[in-house]
Homo-oligomer: A and B are copies of this chain.
């Protein structure tokens, strides 16, 4: 069924996912460096052209990484949903924590210029919209908001969490901050959005 993925075999076996793993690995070692397709291929022990058997181009590989990231974000939101007592601070901290844990994927999730060809909407765009709707659902349930109200509030919250995440990752004024510090800042910011209990 599955060809073996021995280190000596000419055919790799699971190269596509191995490349994605290699990319994450490289990014883990140098979160702010440029990620080159060739470096990813080298890390996977394969010539750079091999990557093109599995991804149309570099963008496609990055898109796959972004999709992985959206998967993790959805899992986090679903987990929060199970609890019925979370605060806005919990949501924001979880969001920022994800950005700190997998910065490469996180950045790609929201960077159309790097991931998408000149072309039109695609699976990545849909993932983004789906996640946004999921957030609106989770927050509406938690705070008993009507549809429109919930969507507007979710957008207000999302942009704020996202802002904290992005600034903590990239801004020269905030970079170098530790993961827990970033989550703490997310909590402080989110506290201004916490709806008053009625």
Contacts and interface: CB of A to CB of B under 8 A. Distances in A.
Interface of A: 32-33, 110-113, 115-116, 121-122, 124-125, 128-129, 132, 152-153, 155-164, 166-167, 170-175, 185, 188-193
B116 A189 contact: no
Contacts of A115: 172
Given A110-B167, A152-B189, A156-B188, 14 more contacts: A33-B113, A110-B171, A110-B172, A111-B170, A112-B170, A112-B175, A128-B171, A128-B173, A155-B188, A156-B189, A160-B160, A162-B163, A163-B163, A193-B193
23 contacts: A32-B112, A32-B113, A111-B170, A112-B175, A113-B170, A115-B172, A121-B172, A122-B172, A125-B173, A128-B174, A129-B173, A152-B192, A156-B160, A156-B188, A156-B189, A157-B192, A158-B167, A159-B163, A162-B163, A162-B167, A163-B163, A163-B166, A166-B166
A166 B166 CA distance: 9
Nearest to A131: B173
Contacts of A193: 156, 192-193
B32 A172 contact: no
B121 A159 contact: no
A122 B172 CA distance: 9
A162 B166 contact: yes
A44 B188 CA distance: 46
